[in-house]
Structures are given as C-alpha cells and as structure tokens.
Amino acid sequence: MATKKQTTIIDTTTKKVLGIATKANDLALSTTEKVFEKSFDLTEKGIGFSSKLVKKGIKASAKNQDVVFDTLDTVKGKVVKYLPKFK
C-alpha cells in the first residue's frame, strides 16, 4: 500500500514538474521568437537608414567633386591664357 501511494505521489509530482517545465520552455521559445523578430525588424530599418545616408553622402561627394573639377578647369583656362605672356 505504501509503495503504491508513494508511486502515485511521485507520478503526480513528475507530471506537474513536466507540465511546468513544458510551460517554461514554451514561454522561453515564444519570447526568443519575439525578440528575434523585433531585432530583425530593427536591423532592416537600420540597414535602410544606413543605405539612405550612404546615398546622400555619395551625392554630396559627387557635388563636391564637380565643384573641384569646375574650379580646376577655370584655373587651367586662366593659366593657359596668361602663361604664354610670361615666356
């Protein structure tokens, strides 16, 4: 009798512990999935933002390069025009 009662208590306790462990595992998996999805979304937004910044930076660099080359062309024109006078 005592053995059967102990077996019943052990079985009941084992089932409760297994149920709690299963719930904890499900909660951990659910939380991990939510965190992963959120971080993935934030990473996508960050990449999109970075892409926009890089494009704007390239446009600004191209404008600066155009200004430099325009200035060099102007200086070259003046040098070519006035250099023969100094010979």
Domain span including residue 52: 2-86
The angle at the Cα of 27, spanning 23 to 29, to the nearest 5 degrees, equals: 115
For residue 14, count other CB atoms closer than 10 A to its CB: 10
Spatial CB neighbours of 21, under 8 Å, sequence gap ≥ 6: none
29 token code pair? 């998996």
Q: How many domains does the chain contain in total?
A: 1
* Position 1 confidence tier, pLDDT thresholds 50, 70, 90: very low
Please write the tens of the pLDDT for every residue from 15-30: 999 999 999 999 999 9
pTM (predicted TM-score): 0.55
How far apart are alpha carbons 74 and 67 in whole angstroms?
11
